[in-house]
Amino acid sequence: MKHYRYLTMCMCLAAAVFPFAAAGGTPELNRAFIDTAKRVKPSVVNIVIYQTSTKDGERVYAKTGYGSGTIITEDGFMVTNCHVARKGDFYQVIMHDGTECEAEPFSDGAYYIADQKTDIALMKIGPLPHAKFQPVSFGDSSRLEEGEWVLAIGNPYGLSQSISSGIVSSKGRTDIGFADIEDFIQTDVPINPGNSGGPLVNLSGELVGINTAIRTVTGGYQGISFAIPSNTVKMISYELMRFGKIRRGWLGFLIREKKILAKGEKTLIEVISVIKDSPAQTAGIQRGDIIKEIDGKRISTLGELVSVVGNYPVGTKLRVAISRDGRLFEYQLLMREKSEPAASPLDSRSLFSLYGIEIDEDARPGSVVISYLSPMGAGYQYGLVRGDIIISLNGEPVRSRGEFLDVFRKNKSRIARLEISRDSRTYTIGFASEAE
């Protein structure tokens, strides 16, 4: 069984492993490491996390953990991980020079705003007299190469401003199980609990990722760590600053990786569903199309598609090249913000909170499709797959999104029985939500 841990949740001490070349490499390499560390450290803060309560009329502070933050603006905005911020309700911030302050609450009183789907949170450093915040320089994570040297700076186990190094092991890692939307950089940089939210930088001192998690069977570092790419961090954090939420771009088609073994293993990205009234349907994308390129960038894995599409804001026109019946076609798709359904006592938001699924109407008449699955949701755990066509819910046929929600609202229990169609076969999957 694979075991993954967020860095703030690991409790077992792991031995630090330092790459040989970093310790005994050439003077030029040593100098590059030293200069990079000096350049980046002023942009890194340590976060001490507290949970507060009231006792005998006084506020009591209980320390619940540590984290790291990366300064991104001159007025003190910083990014960290959502799983760091949500562990408390009060935050002490320690600057690189030891200066201490508190996180500054936003206008609604909350200390952070976050995008849980990417595990990114935005916080603001409280006012400091005469303070000049030094933001990190953003690098282009799409240009990061496997084998490239990178450094991590953070607050492991409360050991402030700790530096570790390693190389990029892989890019575009998905299906890791840390976040709903995944496109991770994998490294062998030693990181531990408290490193979450800290920067991963190249030897030019540019931010290429935010350290987020490790894979482990012991609870501590074992040579595999993951970071959110800086291009994703930049887009998400600036959306949060500007709008207070993520206006997630939507194209309206669902895809899967398809393995072709005829002439060596080859992966194709196949469209398995086109959502009704979506940009994809408007442009002419069809079920069965093979995605070849998006905006001139070749697409051969789900991770590559997520990375490319995720870096464009709402309103962008994307050129999508596809293969259909041996012929090549190119379409222009307008990235659109997906409209939220009107709230009701039991609507699709409750559907997501209970079962971790979202539904839409397929472009084919009378078809309801599972358009999104959370890896942490009951639907995913019990075997549902994005693109499944829903035939019935609890024995009642459903032919539209509205019909599905009507049946869902009548269901007083947390048990769901879905009859679905997948690859021309019919399955019945029953599951229960553990959500309260």
Backbone φ and ψ for 353, nearest 5 degrees, come out as -65, -35
- Cβ neighbours of residue 30 under 8 Å, at least 6 residues apart? none
Contact status, residue 208 vs residue 185, Cβ threshold 8 Å: yes
- Cβ neighbours of residue 64 under 8 Å, at least 6 residues apart? 49, 50, 51, 87, 88
| Rounded-to-integer distance, Cα 210 and Cα 8, Å | 14
Verify whether residue 119 is a known catalytic residue.
yes
Catalytic residue among 68, 141, 164, 196: 196
Q: Are strands 44-55 and 100-102 parallel, antiparallel or unpaired?
A: unpaired
Contact status, residue 136 vs residue 43, Cβ threshold 8 Å: yes
Going across the sheet that includes 113-115, the strands are 100-102, 90-94, 44-55, 58-71, 77-81, 120-124, 113-115
Contact status, residue 185 vs residue 142, Cβ threshold 8 Å: no
- Cβ neighbours of residue 41 under 8 Å, at least 6 residues apart? 96, 153, 161, 163
| Rounded-to-integer distance, Cα 89 and Cα 106, Å | 13
Catalytic residue among 43, 68, 115, 119: 119
Phi-psi region of 197 (alpha: psi -120 to 50; beta: other; left: phi over 0): left
Q: Both tokens of residue 183?
A: 């496109």
- Which residues participate in catalysis according to the annotation? 83, 119, 196
